[in-house]
Amino acid sequence: MVVLEAAEEGGFVVKCVELPVASQGENKEEALKNIKEAIEGYLEVKAELLEKRVKGERVEVVVEAPPTLMAGSC
C-alpha cells in the first residue's frame, strides 16, 4: 500500500507504507509510476543481497489472510 499526498510546492509525494521507499511526480499518474519503479528497484536489490547471504533450499510459502482481516481493508 502507498500513501499519495499533494506536495506543498506542487505535484505529489507518494510513500510506501511497508517499505522504506518514497517518490514524487508532477501529477498522480507520474507519482504512482515512479513509486512502482522505486519499489521494484528496492526489491531487486534486496533479493540480490539475500541471495548472496542465504544458503540452503529456497521454498515459497503462500499465506492467506483471515476473512476478518480482509473485511477491514481498503
pLDDT tens digits for 28-70? Answer: 999 999 999 999 999 999 988 888 887 777 788 888 878 776 6
Q: pTM above the 0.85 mark? A: no
Nearest to 29 by CA among 9, 12, 7, 6: 12
Task: Report pLDDT for 74.
Answer: 47
What pLDDT score does 9 carry?
Answer: 95
pLDDT tens digits, 24-39 = 999 999 999 999 999 9
| Domain segments of the chain as ranges | 2-52
In this prediction, residue 40 carries a pLDDT of 96
Q: How confident is the model at residue 51, as a pLDDT?
A: 80
Cβ-contact 31, 4 below 8 angstroms: yes
